[in-house]
Structure 1
Amino acid sequence: MASLEQRMSAFLRPDLQAMLPYVVQPSAGYVKLDAMENPYTLPLALQRELGERLGAVALNRYPGDRVEDLRRALARHAGLPEGYALMLGNGSDELISLLALCCNRPGASVVAPSPGFVMYAVSAELHGLNYVGVPLTPDRFDLDEPAMLAAIETHRPALVYIAYPNNPTANLFDDTIIERVVQAAPGLVVIDEAYQPFSSKTYLDRLTRHEHVILMRTMSKFGLAGVRIGYMMGRSSLIEQIEKVRPPYNISVLNCEAALFALEHETEFARQAALLRAERERLIEALREMPGVLPFPSDANMVLVRMPDAERSFAHLKQRGVLVKKVSSIPALANCLRLTVGTAEENDLMIAALRESVA
């Protein structure tokens, strides 16, 4: 009788067996500033109100009309243009996976700037698409226009991803270059606005210029990372086709109700976003004053920073109980850390530890 190892070797995809898993850092006991989460919880009164709402949800029923209520509420919240439709996903990760599934034809490619959101590459590889990462410019982490256009011409990608702002570099790409990339793309272009609550710009006012562009957002950075609601907007005829691969009950009734509740209290989340934008600027100013430390511009709730010795600073932060993201293994980000913007108190702890690490 064959062993489990023999069965896996014989029947699981070889490329899957060769892949490395997505690893989440253990964070228990740390000030958690490694995953771009909103650090604020709801005020106590709203927590109680939400608890009552969730307690009344019909857990014995599959998700139904309430999901349609969420779709309509998000359409109003986002300002969905006429002739466009909105599709819900279990976080942006599921939407990225479904897009890859839709475009999985022989020889299909995905093009995205690099470094960028890791799930663009992961979803492409899992669905058998060729992933092409195009390096950003080394000085400003902007789109390399000649390289992007060359990759599009060579690979004729089914999907082009442009994060606006980008992760992990936190910057907005040049709008003129984005437009040239969009015009050159033979397939679909996805503008990923995961960090839109913290950004000074949005692509929404340009969405209707190009019928092959999809605008993707998430409620994670809105303040609901644990609720797992992503959504994307595109031409109705295009979204209609992508909807065919969406699982029928991909949004749970609890997640749906929590998202609707948040949209009803969006002023509270807007207040939190404003606090984080102010804290981001305070953090950048503090980093600029540290010897040998270079913070890069940010339009997100994170700051990419080049340290004199990222390994030393990362270890010292952990010793002081502060967890950040070490991205220095990425060639373009040598000696870089990615810092999530936290509360004023959390940022004070991080700033003090960083100062000690470069003293």
Structure 2
Amino acid sequence: MIASLEKLIAARIRQDVQGMHAYAVQDSRGMVKLDAMENPHRLPAPLQKELGERLAAVALNRYPGERIEDLRTALARHAQLPDGCALMLGNGSDELIALLALACDVPGATILAPQPGFVMYAMSAQLQGLRFVGVDLTPDFELDGKAMLEAIALHQPAIVYLAYPNNPTANLWDDATIEKIVRAAPGLVVIDEAYQPFSSRSYLDRLAQHEHVLLMRTLSKFGLAGVRIGYMMGRAELIAQVDKVRPPYNVSVLNAEAALFALEHEDVFAAQAADLKRERERLQEALKDMGLKAWPSDANMILVRVPDPARSFEGLKARKVLVKNVSRMHPLLAGCLRLTVGTAEENTQLLAALRSTL
């Protein structure tokens, strides 16, 4: 039985897929979870009760319908969608990235992005059978404008991804360099603003100036990582083309209702984001006092270089604090850990545990 299954896999599953590794999620049970850039704050108890009542009344026996349109309208209002632009929904940003690869899968197509960056840009290209070209950032994690423009001229990419701010480095890049890349790109440019609630700048006010630019956001960092709502904005004609490859009913009625409820209480989530930004500054100062190199952050994470990342990672884990060891993801990340900004109590526990590993 096992031998026949092995033959089936060898014959019928793509060779490149057989050689891939699935996206890894660390076991976080019993841990202070600071590895995935989630908002650590939960809804206040009264709102939990109110949301539960709302979800209990949802018609689970029906396919998603008009309520999805209500969510699209609410997100357009929340994001201040520019005139002439439209918005499409995804089951998280991951699905939108996959749909873009599917929509742009023309012969010889290439996807290009700076590296180190979000792993799903490269993975979506690989899964769709497209070529991926990564362009290294500078040693201080800035865009290498010259290298990016040369790569664009050489490879003529169908999609250029620019995370704003970037994951895992957490920094915003130079706007003038971004504009040069946008003007040089022959295909789509996707500005990924996953961490917009914590950022000091947005590309939104420039979106309508460029026909080929798409702006992608998510409610995951807003505070709804478990709800899986991503959305993408751009010129209505362009969004309409990408939307053709979206599966029907890709957003559930429960997810839509939870997102609508959250948007009705966006002041609660804005206060949570403000708290996390204050905690981010406290962590930055504490890491500096430890003599560690921590890069500026416009997200809810901090990239820090430690003397021995494996020892610090395991030491933190032994003390029930889970972070992300990114030191082997890319040569530029050597020695680095990525720390999610948690609650005040969680951050105090993180700092105490980190000191003990040094």
- State the TM-score, normalized to the length of structure 1: 0.98
Match of 2:10 in 1: 9
Q: For structure 1, which runs of at least 5 residues remain unmatched after alignment?
A: none
> In structure 2, the residue corresponding to 1:3 is in which secondary structure?
helix
Match of 1:222 in 2: 222
> In structure 2, the residue corresponding to 1:226 is in which secondary structure?
coil
> In structure 2, the residue corresponding to 1:245 is in which secondary structure?
coil
Which residue identity lines up with residue 55 of structure 1 in the other structure? A
Match of 2:356 in 1: 356
Q: Is 2:164–2:172's contact at 8 Å kept on the other side of the alignment?
A: yes
Match of 1:35 in 2: 36
Q: Residue deviations 1:231-271, cap 9 Å, x none? A: 00010000111111001100000000000000000000000
Percentage of identical aligned residues: 71
Pair 1:300-2:304 in alignment: no
Match of 2:195 in 1: 195
Match of 2:322 in 1: 323
- State the TM-score, normalized to the length of structure 2: 0.98
Q: Shift of residue 14 of structure 1? A: 1.1
Q: Residue deviations 1:95-124, cap 9 Å, x none? A: 000000001111100000000000000000
Which residue identity lines up with residue 38 of structure 1 in the other structure? N
Match of 1:241 in 2: 241
Q: Shift of residue 86 of structure 1? A: 0.2
Which residue identity lines up with residue 269 of structure 2 in the other structure? F
> In structure 2, the residue corresponding to 1:267 is in which secondary structure?
helix
Q: Shift of residue 310 of structure 1? A: 1.1
Q: Shift of residue 21 of structure 1? A: 1.3
Q: What is the alpha-carbon distance in structure 2 between the residues aligned to residue 209 and residue 64 of structure 1?
A: 32
Match of 2:92 in 1: 91
Q: Residue deviations 1:157-202, cap 9 Å, x none? A: 0000000000000000100000000000000000000000000000
Match of 2:173 in 1: 173
Q: Shift of residue 282 of structure 1? A: 0.2
Q: What is the alpha-carbon distance in structure 2 between the residues aligned to residue 251 and residue 61 of structure 1?
A: 13
Q: Residue deviations 1:23-73, cap 9 Å, x none? A: 111111110000000000000000000000000000000000000000000
Alignment of 1:89-128 (within 5 A): 89-128=90-129
Match of 2:26 in 1: 25
Match of 1:205 in 2: 205
Aligned Cα root-mean-square deviation (Å)? 0.9
Q: What is the alpha-carbon distance in structure 1 between the residues aligned to residue 9 and residue 301 of structure 2?
A: 40
Match of 2:78 in 1: 77
Match of 1:289 in 2: 289
Q: For structure 2, which runs of at least 5 residues remain unmatched after alignment?
A: none
Q: How many aligned residue pairs are there?
A: 356
Structure 1 stretches of 4+ moved >3 Å = none
Match of 1:280 in 2: 280
Q: Shift of residue 15 of structure 1? A: 1.1
